Structure 1
């Protein structure tokens, strides 16, 4: 991207487009975390929808001077980083199926052309596409990895932000519907009070003709699941904490505040506050 193009993009950001500012910045910050992975849209039809490497989720990726440190082939030397900018047809080394714009939107990409960086090193060539200021996408081995540099992604594991980060990484790995089975997988992150409320909610008899009170995913406040999340800095007061989380896809940004309590020295989710003012505890009653 030339200097004139950067100036125009930053002017767009000044006029109210945060995405334009992210597009203008072709630098790659040092510290990232792989937050989730999905099967790529170009993967063979017979591929499992859960083929993405779970062992890479939660792993760090660090860009150093002429080197990169990360899982597998993402640890390499003799690194050269160059800026990129692609239309939908050029993303992921031209691998998106047609229509490429639709495939890009399914991955949470709306603003095109999309800026990013190309990493060339002794293990290969890798392209990272910046979908917003905190998020990169990497296509590798029929998978698309999401990387984040938001505060939660870089937080200590036992901090409020770190606990929410781990909860959401687990949430994005599996069924995101609100069911007894999906909430059972999250038991380690829920407070005693919230687990009790959830159990009572699912114990209530429900008619097959009735729309449930919670009709969608309460952890992301959505029915159409978002493609990415950013865990922001916590506000802590004694044994309580509030952690704002931003969820996004190609069409919408939404925020949910995660309310945590500290039980026996461990931060656990006790409630969720939505943009409309409702809370998860209130919906569970």
Structure 2
């Protein structure tokens, strides 16, 4: 190999390594580092903490992956999300154009606290409070026990935004 070819190969390898290092970690790259989904017997608080742990690791698939959505949400909510994402794909436009965990499109989660604010034998309400930039946010998770397992029925943000409401509005339901 000539010196010129060797230098070109080295420069190409160096550029590729720099690109791989500088490229932002997206869901597919970070998913390998994300913790597994919460186990079936997890408490509502544990489910919420797991969702934020996965979010922090870049795993944003809890709504779009059908198997994961079925483990996370009630059957009714998982079905609603599946219909919304199918329509979104068909129309090539976002139907759910925000991240319910941060109640917005952009944000950060610092100082997360998770607390159960109400609970019965088959329903629970859990809040996640955190700092996003300079604002303190509270996201409310409504849970329902379904087949003996706690599942998210809805996620509500400030000003009354509701994941189910957004999906229903997009679907015209």
Q: What TM-score do the two structures reach when normalised by structure 1?
A: 0.41
The one of 86, 96, 105 equivalent to 1:223 is 105
Distance 2:141 2:122 in 1: 14
The alignment covers a number of residue pairs equal to 140
Distance 2:56 2:165 in 1: 24
Q: Which residue of 2 aligns with 1:274?
A: 157
Distance 2:63 2:154 in 1: 17
TM-aligned CA deviation for residue 184 of structure 1? 5.0
| Structure showing the higher strand proportion among its residues | 1
Q: Which residue of 1 aligns with 2:127?
A: 244
Distance 1:203 1:186 in 2: 14
Deviations 1:175-204 (A, max 9, x none): 4388734x6544322111111110111222
RMSD: 3.3
Q: Which residue of 1 aligns with 2:56?
A: 172
Distance 2:83 2:115 in 1: 31
Distance 2:30 2:99 in 1: 23
Higher RCO (C-alpha under 8 Å, 6+ residues apart): 2
Structure 2: gaps spanning 5 or more residues: 1-17, 169-173
Tell whether 2:146 aligns with 1:263: yes
After superposition, where does 1:27-46 map in structure 2 within 5 Å? none
Deviations 1:234-262 (A, max 9, x none): 41023000001113233322111000001
Structure 1: gaps spanning 5 or more residues: 1-43, 59-156
TM-aligned CA deviation for residue 171 of structure 1? 3.1
Q: Compared with structure 1, are the counterparts of its residues 250 and 45 closer, same or farther at alpha carbon in structure 2 (3 Å cutoff)?
A: farther
Q: What TM-score do the two structures reach when normalised by structure 2?
A: 0.64
After superposition, where does 1:111-122 map in structure 2 within 5 Å? none
TM-aligned CA deviation for residue 46 of structure 1? 5.0
| Structure showing the higher helix proportion among its residues | 2
